[in-house]
Amino acid sequence: MELFGYCVYQIYFHPLSKYPGPLSSKLTSFRAAYHAWKEDQYLDIWRCHQIYGPVVRYRPDYISFSTVEAYKDIYSGDTTTKPRCYEHLQRQHASILTMRDNKAHTTRRRLLGHGLTSTAVTDMEPRILRHVRNFCHALGAGLDPTQSEKDAWGRPLDMADWCSYLTFDIMVDIVFGVSGDLLVDPSQRSIVEDIGISSKRAFVLLNAELLYVGRMDRRLFPGSVSSRRRFLRFVDKLVARSTALSAEEKSRAIVQRLLAGRDAEANGGIPDSRSLISDATTLTVAGMLDHHSSRKLPLIIHTTPATFFYLSRSPSVYNRLVTEIRQRFSSPDEIKQGESLSSCTYLRACIDETLRITPPVATALFREVLPGGELIDGHVVPAGYHAGTSAYSLHHRADYFHLPNEYIPERWLGLSEMRGGVHNPAAYIPFLRGPRSCLGRSLAYWELLVTVAMVLWEFDMRAVDGAEAGVGGGDSMLGMPGRNNPGEYQLLDRGTCGRVGPVLQFRRRV
């Protein structure tokens, strides 16, 4: 009888009962947790909006919106905060990732800004460029010197793996000031897999808090627990190595800049050293799994292979971009911050289009409404309930973007170069806006531009033939909407997005 009463209340009398959605979503969070486990939650939310419209009750206390107006209302002000479930992700000290209090978050964000000043970013450039050159060297390492340049295609490479190694090396260097060397030393590469495994468990737990009862999550995800422990031990070693650096070397590490910034603060509520080190760890982990915190690194680790995927399958786009890059720069040493790189408008358009069609954080970033309630796109959401918007759902609305499932960089160069149809830049949300927006957006974009430009200046590129030709794309035989498009780079939704492929070959430019 109690179960019957619960169901009647949830369906007919709950404060969110008027909003449409799957019946199971009105009763439990099982559907959301199931699709988190399947790593396709962003597609399930998109499919729900296709069926039920722009407002969907996706969990008993959660509403998903797919409008620009709702996105602005949810994320641009201080009337919402992160859900309580983020507190479960804390290790021992709160980080900017798990912090719910908006004022405390503002203080912590200001401290993080000490590590990303213009001077700090300038100091980072030569180190980042060194890692990008190592990346290019790795791509060319398998080329056969006995063949002519025209025929000397290298071994097939899974770009998701190699871009992960690049990202990790960059982040360990700029955050801790020490070397990661995954690009040159295979012995440590298992740490990337550990991060990916642990991220899946964390995302499922964000959608099913009941799994914490009796620590059922440890029994359901035993491999994830051990992977997380290995990663945290790895981070502790990084912190120890960073602490042992000389004063000059410490000045180049974000974690040390954070500690220096803490010492310089005169306001109250300053976090302790371990909390700031936790933030530095979050910056590093953000590159690999980022559970809705800084989007800087998911941008790099995801968008780089995704861009190569679309270029390898769009000959006209690839040829136009290669021409732009090779005409703009006479040597790879010229590819760095400056006017020449900024003037590569088609390169920027290609990256923007990749971020639109396959955003690095594709699922809905739900926020809890604070006391007083919130008016979201004309809908009153009471305090204590949750609302969010999925970037993938917005980016794939045909009334916002013409031919939303097609890769068309020209849409970002002005309507005169488009194939006609609507283009709404306000619906383009690869980055979180408002008080919790990404601190490192400009730096991340620059890293993307440099990496793609340097690779295409040095190498010709092609997708492999045979069984691995379709790796990274959808499978037309599946029949499941969102997974059946061979021309769309597939995401593994773990809060941020994992990825596989594309498998490509490179040769020295002819």
Which has more pLDDT, 148 or 20? 20
Measure the CA–CA gap between 55 and 33, rounded to whole angstroms: 20
Contact 59, 34 (CB under 8 A): no
- The number of angstroms, rounded, from the C-alpha of 60 to the middle of its chain's C-alpha atoms is 27
Hey, what are 205's tokens? 């737990």
Of 172-176, 235-239, 360-364, 401-405, the range with the lowest mean pLDDT is 235-239
382: left (phi over 0), alpha (psi -120 to 50) or beta: beta
Mean pLDDT for all residues in the chain = 83
Most confident of 62-71, 164-173, 218-227: 62-71
Residue 290 has pLDDT above 50, yes or no: no
For the beta carbon of residue 398, count every other beta carbon within 10 angstroms.
11
Which residue ranges are tagged as binding site for heme?
438
**For residue 111, how many other CB atoms are within 10 A of its CB?**
22
pLDDT for the residue 409: 96
Closest CA to 303 of 467, 496, 115, 150: 496
Percent of the chain with pLDDT over 70: 79
**CA-CA distance, 361 to 496, in Å (whole number)?**
4
pLDDT band at 82 (very low <50, low <70, confident <90, very high): confident
| CATH 2.40.30.160, domain 19-508, yes or no | no
Q: Is pLDDT of 357 > 60?
A: yes
Mean pLDDT confidence for 377-404: 96
Residue 324 backbone dihedrals phi, psi, to 5 degrees: -60, -45
Residue type, 189: R
The pLDDT of 199-210, averaged and rounded, is 81
For residue 416, what pLDDT is reported?
A: 53
Please state, in angstroms and rounded to a whole number, the distance separating the CA atoms of residues 468 and 365. 33
Measured CA to CA, the distance from residue 390 to residue 430 in angstroms comes to: 10
Spatial neighbors of 436 by CB under 8 A, at least 6 apart, are 75, 105, 109
Statement: residue 399 has pLDDT above 90: yes
Lowest-confidence pick of 111-125, 195-209, 354-368, 411-425: 111-125
Q: What is the DSSP letter of 473?
A: S
- Two tokens at 124? 């980072």
Share above pLDDT 90 across residues of the chain, in percent, rounded to a whole number: 47
- Rounded CA-CA distance 350/407 in Å is 9
Phi-psi region of 509 (alpha: psi -120 to 50; beta: other; left: phi over 0): beta
Per the confidence metrics, is the pTM higher than 0.95? no
Which tops the pLDDT comparison, 204 or 6? 6
Q: What was the pLDDT predicted at 289?
A: 40
Q: What is the rounded CA–CA span in Å between residue 307 and residue 293?
A: 23
CA geometry: angle 450, 315, 328, nearest 5 deg: 35
Instruction: Determine the straight-line distance between the first and last CA of the chain, rounded to whole angstroms.
Output: 75
| Domain locations in the chain as residue ranges | 19-508
Listed range (135-144, 184-193, 288-297) with the worst mean pLDDT: 288-297
Angle at the Cα of 356 from the Cα atoms of 354 and 361, rounded to 5 degrees: 95
Binding residues: 438
Q: Which residue has the higher pLDDT, 41 or 295?
A: 41
- Among the residue ranges 99-108, 116-125, 231-240, the one predicted with the least confidence is 99-108
DSSP structural state of residue 88: G
